[in-house]
Amino acid sequence: MPGLALSREWGALLLVLGGAAATMLLPRAFGDPQSVDPDLWRLTGYFAAIAAASLLLRRLRDQAPISFALLTLTLPYSLWLWFLGYGGALPSFLGSPYGLLRNALAGVAWLIAALLMAAAFYFLAPRPRPQLRMWVRPRPGALLLGVGGAVLFLVLAFALPAPLIGREGVPLLSLGGSAAVAYGIANASSAVAQEIQFRGVLLASLERQHSRRAALIGQALIFGIAHIATQYQGPADSLIPIVILLGLIWGWMTQRSQSVLPAAIMHVAAELFLVATIVSGLYGQ
Amino acid sequence: MTRARRIAAGAGLALATCLVASVTPAAAAGGWWVPAPGRARSISALASDQGQATLAIAGGVAGWYRPETGGFTEIAWPRDASTYGPPIAVAAAGGLGVVAFRNGRLLQVGGAAPGSWLSPVAGVPQALAVSTAAGQLAVASSRGLFSGRLGRRLELVAPGDAMAVLAPAAPGLDWVALVGGRLWLRAPASGWIRSPRAPVFARKTRALAELASGLLLVGEPGGLVWRGSETAWERVFQVLPYGGLGGVPQVTAAAADGPSAAYLATDGFGTLLTPDGGYSWYRAAPANPAIAALATVGPVFSARPRGFVIAVSRQGVYLHRLQALPQPPTYTPTNQAAELEGTAAVTLGAALLVILLLWYGAGRRRRLSV
C-alpha cells in the first residue's frame, strides 16, 4: 500500500533526525551550553555511524541514501570548522586561526568536500543513479532563472523593512580591500557547497523515496533546521522561516531547471549581500 | 496505529520539543534596553557631564535630569525669560550647565542656585559646549560658531550654519565644531581653524563625537559615517535604506564612550555601537527605533562598565547598561574529560538506538510484505 510505505519512509527519516536532535541537545543537560566539543563533529559522528550501518547491514540498505545524504550535510561543515581553528592545530602556512586567509581556505575546503561527497554519493548509491542535477550543461533558461532570481532577491531585500533581516548598514572599513576578497571567496564557496549538499544530494536522496513535492518540502525543512545552529548575526526570530522559504524556492528552481546552477547563483548573491549588510547584534541577537 | 508509526510520532515530538527548547532562550534574551524609571518624558535635548549632572529639555522646560530615578528638577530663571522663546539646546560639564534659548539668550546654571544670564549670540542656537576646566563656552548657531570665555562676550569665529560643537573629550584634545558641513578645530591655547584635511560633509551634519583617544566620528544625515583626525579621514560605515519608500534613516546624534567606543543614533534603526573606533558595528537598538538625542553617562563599553547610555525618542527615554557576558565555565581536566566521555556516550548511544529501531522497523516491514 503506497500510503503506508510513504509513512514508513517518513517515519524512518524522523527517527534519524530525532536521534540527531538528541545527539545535539542532550549533552547540554550535563555540559555547558557551548559544549566542550564542536557539536557539528558530534553530529557528523552520529550520521557516519548510521550511514556505515546502513551500508553494512543488508536489512538497513534502504536507509543508505538518506543517511549518506545527511552525512554529506555535516562532514564538509565539520571540515570547515576545523579549518577555521576549532579543535586542533593546522599548519601555519594556512594563516592564523580566524584570519582572512584561513576564512577563504575554509570556504574552499567546504566546497571541495561537498563535491567529493556528492561524487561518492553518485557512484556508490544503488541503481538507478540519483539525479544530482550537477553535471548537466546549464541551458540559457536556467542561467536566466538564476540571475533573475538574484536580482529579485536584492530588490525584495531592499524593499522589505531592514530590521526583518537586520540589513541596516555596510561596515565599509572592515569590508574593504583584502577582507572583501577573502569574505567573498569564503561565502561564495559556502553558498555553492550548500546548494550541492541540499539541492543536489539531499533533494536527490529524498526523491528516491518520496514524491517530488514531498522531497522539495522535506529538504527545505531540513535546510531550515540546519540553520538553527548557525551563528547568524541578524535577528534570530525571522531567520528560520526565511531560510525555509528560500529552501523551497531554491529547491523548486533546481527541480524546474534540472540544474543546481540557478539556485547556486541566487544563493551566492544572497550570501554576499547578507554578509555585507547585516549589522551584528551586540550579544549575538 | 502501528508500532513504527508510534515510534516515528514520538521521535517527531522529541525533535520538535528539542527545536523549540533550543530556539526559545535566544528569543527571550532580548530587552536589554529598559524604559527610564519615573514618568515618561518627551525630551528634546540632552547633555551629560559624564558624572552626576545631566541637563535636559523636557516639554519645553529645561531641568536637571536623573535618569536612574526619573527625577526632573526644573531650572528657575527670571520671569522675562518667556519672551526669549523656548529653550532648545543644553550643555553640561563639571556640574555646570548652560541652556540656550531660541532667540540666542544663554543661561548659566549650576546646582540648585538660580541661573545667571550670559551675553547672547546671533541666530538660533543649535548646539553648545562648555568646559569648566578651561572656562570656555562655544555655541553653534544658525549664524555661525561663537566662542569665548564663560561670562564674557562670545566672538563669531566661523560664519555659516553651525550644527555641532564639542568640548575636548580629554585634556589636551581639540575643541571641534561643524559649520556648514566643514570641520573646525581649536587646539589648546590657540584659535579656531578650519581643518585642512577633513572632507566637506553634508551641510546639515550634526552627529559628531570625539573619542578620548582624539579620534573623531562624523555621521552625515544621509547615513555615511566618517572617522578621522587632523591628518587623515576615511569612510567607515554606511546606513542602508529602511525599505520600500522609507529612505535612509537619518543619523541624528553621536556620543563618545571612552577612548574607542561610540554610539550612533538614527531615526529608524535605533542606536548603533562601534567598540573599536568605527571599524566594526553592532546593533544596540532600544524598543523604539527613532532616536532623537543620545548621551553616555560614565564608561559603558569597557572592561568595568559603570555607566549607561541614555537614548531619547518621542515615546520616552531608554537606558542601556552593558550586560556582563556569560563567563565560560572553568573546567578541571577531570570534569572536562568526563563531559567529553558523556558526550561521546550520548552520540554513540543515540546512533545505536536509532540503528536498532530502524533494524526492528525493517524486520517488521519484511514480515508484513511476506
A205 by DSSP, 3-state: which? helix
pLDDT at B285 over 80: no
> Which is more confident, B88 or B3?
B88
Residues from chain B contacting residue A25 (CB–CB below 8 Å): 18, 21-22
A85 touches chain B (CB under 8 A): no
- In angstroms, the CA A198 to CA B342 distance is 31
Instruction: Select the residue of B234, B347, B359 nearest A42 (Cβ to Cβ).
Output: B347
3-state SS, residue B62: strand
pLDDT band at B14 (very low <50, low <70, confident <90, very high): low
Domain assignment of residue A158, given as a range = 2-277
In this predicted structure, which of A30-39, B20-29, B62-71 has the lowest mean pLDDT? B20-29
For an interface test with A, the pick among B226, B234, B266, B355 (most A C-beta atoms closer than 10 Å) comes out as: B355
Asked whether the bond before A128 is cis by omega within 30 degrees of 0, the reply is yes
Q: Please, what is the average pLDDT of chain B?
A: 83
A27:B272 CB<8 A: no
Residue A52 resides in a domain: yes
Tell me if B343 and A280 make a contact (CB, 8 A cut-off).
no
Choose, out of A160, A173, A223, A239, the residue to mutate when testing the contact with B (most B CBs < 10 Å).
Answer: A173
Beta carbons of A14 and B278 less than 8 Å apart: no
For residues A228 and B265, which has the higher predicted lDDT (pLDDT)? B265
Give the lowest-confidence range in A82-91, B87-96, B231-240: A82-91
Distance of residue B89 Cα from the nearest chain A Cα, in angstroms = 29
Q: B251: part of which helix (H) or strand (E)? A: strand B251-257
Of A15, A18, A171, the CB nearest to B281: A171
Q: How many CB atoms lie within 10 A of CB B352?
A: 14
Chain B hits for A49, CB-CB cut-off 8 Å, are 347-348, 351-352, 355
Residues whose CB falls within 8 Å of the CB of residue A255, separated by 6 or more in sequence, listed in order: A203, A212, A216
- Residue B21: pLDDT above 50? no
B337 touches chain A (CB under 8 A): no
pLDDT bracket for residue B28 (50, 70, 90): very low
Q: How far apart are CA B291 and CA B316, in angstroms?
A: 10
Nearest to A73 by CA among A103, A40, A104: A40
Distance (Å, rounded) from C-alpha B43 to C-alpha B90?
12
Between CA B142 and CA B180 the distance in angstroms is 9
CA distance B308 to B46: 14
d(CA B204, CA B161): 8
Residue A2 pLDDT > 50, yes or no? no
Nearest Cα residue to B215 out of B184, B169, B270: B169
CB–CB contact B239 A168 (8 Å) = yes
pLDDT attached to residue B6: 58
Least CB–CB distance from A161: residue in B242, B343, B350: B242
Does residue A130 sit within a domain? yes
Q: What is the pLDDT of residue A36?
A: 62
Please state the ipTM of this predicted complex. Answer: 0.83
**In chain A, residues 94-153 whose CB comes closer than 8 Å to chain B:** none
From A203's Cα to the closest Cα of chain B, the distance in A is 20
**Residue A236 and residue B26 in contact, taking contact as beta carbons nearer than 8 Å:** yes
pLDDT of residue B333: 72
Residues ≥6 apart with Cβ < 8 Å to B196: none
The span from the CA of B176 to the CA of B198, in Å, is 12
A16 contacts in B (CB within 8 Å)? 354, 358
Among candidate residues A248, A20, A257, A43, the one with its CA nearest the CA of residue A138: A257
- Spatial separation of the C-alpha atoms in residues B15 and A221, rounded to whole Å: 13
- Quick check: A174 contacting B, CB < 8 Å? yes
Domain spans of chain B, in order of start: 33-320
- Can you list the alpha helix ranges (DSSP code H) found in chain B? 3-28, 333-369
Could you give the CA distance from residue B102 to residue A133 in angstroms, rounded to a whole number? 70
CATH: 2.60.40.1580, 2.60.15.10, 2.130.10.10, 3.90.1150.10. Which one for B33-320?
2.130.10.10
Whether A57 sits inside 8 A of B359 (CB atoms) is yes
Interface A:B, Cβ pairs < 8 A: 203
Q: Is residue A255 part of a domain?
A: yes
Query: Is A284 part of any domain?
Result: no
Nearest alpha-carbon partner for B53 in B90, B91, B89, B95: B95
User: What distance in Å separates the CA atoms of residue B42 and residue B39, rounded to the nearest whole number?
Assistant: 10
The model's pTM is 0.83
Classify residue A252 as exposed, middle or buried by CB count within 10 Å of its CB (0-12, 13-18, 19+): middle
Q: Say if the Cβ atoms of A27 and B240 lie within 8 Å.
A: no
Q: What is the total count of domains within chain A?
A: 1
Q: Which three cell numbers stand for residue A84?
A: 577555521
CA angle B36, B260, B203 (to 5 degrees): 80
